[in-house]
Amino acid sequence: MIKDTVILFHPLPWEGGILKKRVPYTLLFLERNIRDLGLNVVLIDECVDKNYEPIVTKYSGRILLIGISTMTGYQLVGALRFSELARKVTDAPQVWGGWHPTILPEQTLENQRVDFVIMGQGEEPFRKLLIALMNGTGFDNIPGLAFKKNGKIILNPREKYKDAFSYPKVDFTLIDINNYIFSNWYAKRSIRYITTQGCPYKCGFCSLALVYERKWFHKTVPEIIDELEYFIKVGNIDGVKFDDDNFFVNREFVMELCREMIKRNLNIKWFTQGHASHLLTHFKEEDFEIMKQSGAAMISIGAESGDQVVLDLIAKNNKVEDNIACSKMFHKYGIQTFYTAMVCFPVDPERDFNATLGLLMEAKLIDPQFRFLLSFYTPYPGTDLYELALQNGYKPPQSLEGWAKHTFKRVRMPWVEKKYYYKAWRFIDFYLPMSDPMLYKKARWYWSPVVFMLRLLFYGLIRWRFRNKNLRFPFEANLVLYSIKIINKVFGSQLKLRISKEGFFD
């Protein structure tokens, strides 16, 4: 039978469900560069195709290659499960790519399911691997490819990263856009969309620099507008999450896009992320007014820490006060602020924990609707801080199965005392929601009077705590949270004051 089929698989990105499903761009990026080879390309996204065994079985005798893209963490669970199923159905070789195989190619290849690994940018190596399999030639001259040969693992040198938007355009008709629509606070029908790739910064906890080589590329504004209009037409979207690592690198690009969105009257709300210091130094104040007019609902900045020692350690190129300055600027123009922050780095966990919570309290006082994502520092291979974590007692997983459990919610570092998890729980589940004066209006109607009474009792005290950055003797938090725990245990309910997915604890 002719081997003319390529199967590309995208595992579930998040544990516990498919909320805010991510468009499988990794698969679409690979497809665009092989569509001229005359092959039958089958895309399987676990978010949508939960029962994928019949799909693999249907093509079992025709499969030339199976490609799996995965990040470190929970995606490896789905990747391993799919890989094992595919091994039972077909003897076709499997190539793994994405963040995790790129960073740990040798350990990935040690798994018996994996035949090849693509390191770094995948479009060119994947295409050349397919041609080699079709022609029956060797793999020694394929840049960025790792494979097994005579019992040894061979790592071919990688080529320089290429502008990802210089390849043929992504074909969005290959997927049903409506499968990737989700609702959030600013839009009923929102979608994740990539306009740029890369980041010029080299933060010590982040592996972006390793993969993208500190390069940054963007689509043309006309192409972005065309694709947004396609999403509006096909998916009836009213919101978009520009799912970029650093959207604001080039001011001219951002402002051209904002003006064109206004001109074309797209009428969609958007949310994206950037670097605080970069925003302050490269953008003018009036730019934020234009962003607001174009639909900017919220901007996320990687605040990371309220401790300047930590920011310098991780080479953030940012000052603590830059985060606050951004919050004030966003609030002035009606754009909501979102911080991503980490606590308990392996230097002085108590100092950076307290300083970071202090930063979050200050930001909340500026904008009552301020949101954040708080996590405990988790080391990843390929980052500058990884060696420091090893020196402080961190023991990394030694297999793909082990790395599948390496998530923010599951990993606990040896230098982090248990008390910090309780403090974070109190802050996220009590102090943050109770500092919102309108929380009772957001609660379900039958709990609104209870929340209102809690506000009368504790709102003044909480505001005092935030102004003084003082969370000592948290009797009110313990009283309320442990009462809720008892109620949940007795009645089997899931009550909580937190009304959103903010933070680390669900």
Tens of pLDDT, residues 328-358: 999 999 999 999 999 999 999 999 999 999 9
Strand order in the sheet with 145-149: 40-45, 5-10, 63-69, 94-97, 116-118, 145-149, 152-155
Q: Note whether 243 and 286 are same-domain residues.
A: yes
pLDDT at 316 over 80: yes
Pair 142, 234 in one domain: no
Predicted confidence (pLDDT) per residue in 354-384, tens digit: 999 999 999 999 999 899 999 999 998 888 8
As given in the structure block, the two tokens for residue 14 are 């998040």
Last residue of a domain, one of 106, 139, 155: 155
pLDDT digits (tens, 9 = 90+) for 236-277: 999 999 999 999 999 999 999 999 999 999 999 999 999 999
If one compares 484 and 502, the residue with the highest pLDDT of the two is 484
**Same domain (yes/no): 147, 209:** no
SS3 444: coil
CB atoms within 10 A of CB 303: 28
Is 168 within a domain?
Answer: no
Residue 200 within a domain:
yes
d(CA 317, CA 433): 31
Residues 308 and 300: their CA atoms lie apart, in Å, by 19
Residues 371 and 290 occupy one common structural domain: yes
Q: Would you state the pLDDT for residue 205?
A: 86
Separation in Å, CA 501 to CA 97, 416, 424, 428, 454: 30, 23, 14, 10, 21
E strand or H helix at 449, and its extent? helix 448-468
pLDDT at site 225: 98
- We report the CATH number of the domain holding residue 76 as 3.40.50.2300
In a domain, 385, yes or no: no
Per-residue pLDDT band at 192 (split at 50, 70, 90): very high
* In a shared domain, residues 277 and 188: yes
The reported pLDDT for the residue numbered 496 is 81
* 358 and 239 co-located in one domain: yes
Local confidence band at 446 (pLDDT 50, 70, 90 cut-offs): confident
Q: Where are the alpha helices (DSSP H) in 177-284?
A: 208-212, 221-235, 251-263, 276-282
Per-residue pLDDT, 403: 94
Alpha carbon 288 to its chain's center: 24
In eight-state DSSP terms, residue 173 is G
Residue with tokens 């600013």: 186
Q: What is the DSSP string of 354-395?
A: HHHHHHHHHHHHH-TT-EEEEEE----TTSTTHHHHHHTT--
Higher pLDDT, 422 or 448: 422
Residue 174 lies in a domain: no
Q: Which CATH number is 237's domain given?
A: 3.20.20.70
Mean pLDDT, residues 165-177: 96
Does residue 338 sit in the same domain as residue 451?
no
pLDDT tens per residue across span 69-97: 999 999 999 999 999 999 999 999 999 99
pLDDT of residue 505: 31
What pLDDT sits at residue 444?
78
Are 186 and 318 within one domain?
yes
Q: What distance in Å separates the CA atoms of residue 53 and residue 78, rounded to the nearest whole number?
A: 13
Is 406 part of a structural domain of the chain? no
Q: From 378, 406, 434, give the residue that closes a domain.
A: 378
Are 372 and 230 found together in one domain?
A: yes
Residues ≥6 apart with Cβ < 8 Å to 192: 20, 21, 22, 23, 180, 240, 241, 243
Q: How distant is the alpha carbon of residue 70 from its chain centre?
A: 13
Question: What is the predicted pLDDT for the residue at 506?
Answer: 26
Is residue 186 located within the same domain as residue 254? yes
Instruction: Give yes or no for residue 308 having a pLDDT over 60.
Output: yes
Domain total of the chain: 3
- Domain boundary at 102, 137, 155, which? 155
Cβ-based neighbour number of residue 125 at 10 Å: 25
CA dihedral 452, 458, 461, 467 (to 10 degrees): -50
In a domain, 402, yes or no: no
Residue 500: the pLDDT is: 52
CA–CA separation, 455 and 462 (whole Å): 9
Nearest to 420 by CA among 364, 479, 481, 345: 345
How does the average pLDDT of the chain come out, rounded?
93
409 lies in some domain: no
Tell me, what's the pLDDT at 16?
A: 64
Asked if residue 193 and residue 151 are part of one domain, the reply reads no
Using an 8 Å Cβ cutoff, are 231 and 177 in contact?
A: yes
My answer on whether 210 and 151 are in the same domain is no
The backbone torsions φ and ψ at residue 61, rounded to the nearest 5 degrees and listed phi first, read -80, -10
pLDDT at residue number 407 = 81
> What's the pLDDT tens digit per position in 121-165?
999 999 999 999 999 999 999 999 999 998 899 999 998 889 999
Confidence of residue 28 (pLDDT cuts 50, 70, 90): very high
Q: Are 44 and 7 in contact (CB under 8 A)?
A: yes
Is 411 a member of any domain?
Answer: no
Would strands 116-118 and 182-184 be described as parallel, antiparallel, or unpaired?
unpaired
Give me the domain span that covers residue 86. 5-155
What per-residue confidence (pLDDT) applies to 233?
97
